[in-house]
Amino acid sequence: MEELSSQKTILSGIKPTGQLTIGNYIGAMKNFVKLQNDYETLYMVVDLHALTVPQEPKELRHKTLSIIAQYIAVGLDPEKNNLFIQSHVTGHTELAWILGCMTGLGDLSRMTQFKDKSAKPGANVNAGLYTYPILMASDILLYNADFVPVGEDQKQHVELTRDIAMRFNYRYSDTFTIPEPIIPKSGARIMDLQNPMSKMGKSDSGESGRIALIDEPSLVAKRIKSAVTDSGSEIKFSETDEKAGIRNLLTIYANLTEISIAEIELMYEGKGYGDFKKDLADIVVERLSPIKNRHDDLMKNKDYLEAVLKSGAESAQKKAWKMLSKVYRKVGLVQAVR
């Protein structure tokens, strides 16, 4: 990441589909925090994306605000970052329409996230789930983002965004910046604690397979201690499927402490999974407790959160209008007289 120059724009978003997990934190939010000092940063809660799966309206409102509070609680300073809610800015869905008219059905059908989500038993396979990557491309291109910090599962969507942007630029002349994903080398895919062959997801994982940033400390410890491992006993990183559980726990340990995996292996030579899990439970609790406390305080201060959102949306809206009118002009729409 060292080679990134300043003045560039960083943008990312998280869906309010459930409680944020340590997967969201390690794969994406840790990078949001790291990048906040040197770049222009826009971090959204992408509530329109959440509607691709059925949501209870009251809960959706609560989860959306709770994620804004968690953005601040993990260390994003609202003075330095543009924190806002996607639906507060007009332009995301409008640009998505234009981009949708330039995106092939074949491209959308290739998307792994669509294939996975629509193959789930009882899945509600609606048009929004299918066109979701176009809205994501619009989120990114609307602000000319240079870099997009995300976990591994979003790489394909950022690649599609790049293709759409290049297609538009080729057809209508240079308009969009071609964005690049920023994906952490380690921790880009934290796995479900009960099923370490699948990704920990805030809405896809069962309760015992995930840890939320705002879970009670006793629950956090319990989840780590009951994480699935294997019949072995050595604390060693291995790429084999059998070792997926311990590999995932080692990755979580390394990412929350910044101690390298090799060093952790040395620290636990001659010790068993029980000792390792006990220490990891303490580490996760120690790391998450201040986040939970700060979140809980912020949720009692709705006026403050609303002020943050107002200023975030105002400044994002200015940028969005500018880009949208440029795009409308380039594709040949007659300018409205206002």
Binding site for ligand ATP (CB under 6 A): 14-15, 17-18, 21, 23-24, 26-28, 150-151, 153-154, 188-190, 199-204
Question: Which listed option, ligand LTN, ligand ATP, none, makes contact with residue 312 (CB within 5 to 8 Å by class)?
Answer: none
Q: Is 292 a catalytic residue?
A: no
Q: Does 165 bind ligand LTN (CB under 6 A)?
A: no
- The contacts of residue 181 (CB under 8 Å, 6+ apart) are 147, 148, 149, 150, 154, 155, 158, 159
Q: Does 162 bind ligand LTN (CB under 6 A)?
A: no
Distance of alpha carbon 246 from alpha carbon 266, whole angstroms: 15
The site that binds ligand LTN (CB under 6 A) totals a number of residues, namely: 13
3-state secondary structure of 301: coil
Distance of alpha carbon 235 from alpha carbon 328, whole angstroms: 57
Q: How far is the CB of 64 from ligand ATP (least distance, A)?
A: 12
164's tokens: 């759409």
Q: How far is the CB of 24 from ligand ATP (least distance, A)?
A: 4
Q: Which of 15, 30, 63, 199 is catalytic?
A: 199
153's tokens: 């599962």
**Position with the least CB separation from ligand LTN:** 13
Q: How far is the CB of 335 from ligand LTN (least distance, A)?
A: 28
Distance of alpha carbon 236 from alpha carbon 222, whole angstroms: 22
Q: Is 80 a catalytic residue?
A: no
Contact window for ligand LTN (CB under 6 A) among 34-42, 60-68, 149-157, 196-204: 149-157
Q: If phi over 0 gives left and psi between -120 and 50 gives alpha, with beta otherwise, what is residue 75?
A: left
**Position with the least CB separation from ligand ATP:** 27
Q: Does 150 bind ligand LTN (CB under 6 A)?
A: yes
Closer residue to ligand ATP, CB minimum distance, 91 or 184: 184
At residue 102, φ and ψ (nearest 5 deg) are -120, 15
Q: Does 305 bind ligand LTN (CB under 6 A)?
A: no
Distance of alpha carbon 220 from alpha carbon 288, whole angstroms: 9
Closer residue to ligand ATP, CB minimum distance, 158 or 305: 158
Contact window for ligand LTN (CB under 6 A) among 1-9, 57-65, 122-130, 147-155: 147-155
Residue 86: CB atoms within 10 Å: 23
Residue recorded with tokens 């410890």: 221
Please, what is the Cα angle at 127 between 125 and 131, to 5 degrees? 115
Closer residue to ligand ATP, CB minimum distance, 116 or 234: 116
At residue 149, φ and ψ (nearest 5 deg) are -75, 120
Contact window for ligand LTN (CB under 6 A) among 132-140, 213-221, 252-260, 288-296: 132-140
Closer residue to ligand LTN, CB minimum distance, 179 or 245: 179
Q: Does 136 bind ligand LTN (CB under 6 A)?
A: yes
At residue 293, φ and ψ (nearest 5 deg) are -60, -45
Q: How far is the CB of 313 from ligand LTN (least distance, A)?
A: 16
CA-CA distances (angstroms) from residue 29 to 60, 97, 112, 147, 330?
A: 20, 29, 22, 14, 35
Query: Which residue of 140, 191, 264, 285 would you call a contact of ligand LTN, by CB under 6 A?
Result: 140
Residue 334 class from Cβ within 10 Å (0-12 exposed, 13-18 middle, 19+ buried)?
exposed
| Pairing label, strands 81-85, 180-182 | unpaired
Closer residue to ligand LTN, CB minimum distance, 15 or 295: 15
| DSSP state letter for 27 | I
Q: Is 30 a catalytic residue?
A: no
Closer residue to ligand LTN, CB minimum distance, 145 or 220: 145
Active site residues: 117, 199, 202
Interface residues with ligand LTN (CB under 6 A) are: 11-13, 15, 46, 49, 136, 139-140, 148, 150, 154, 157
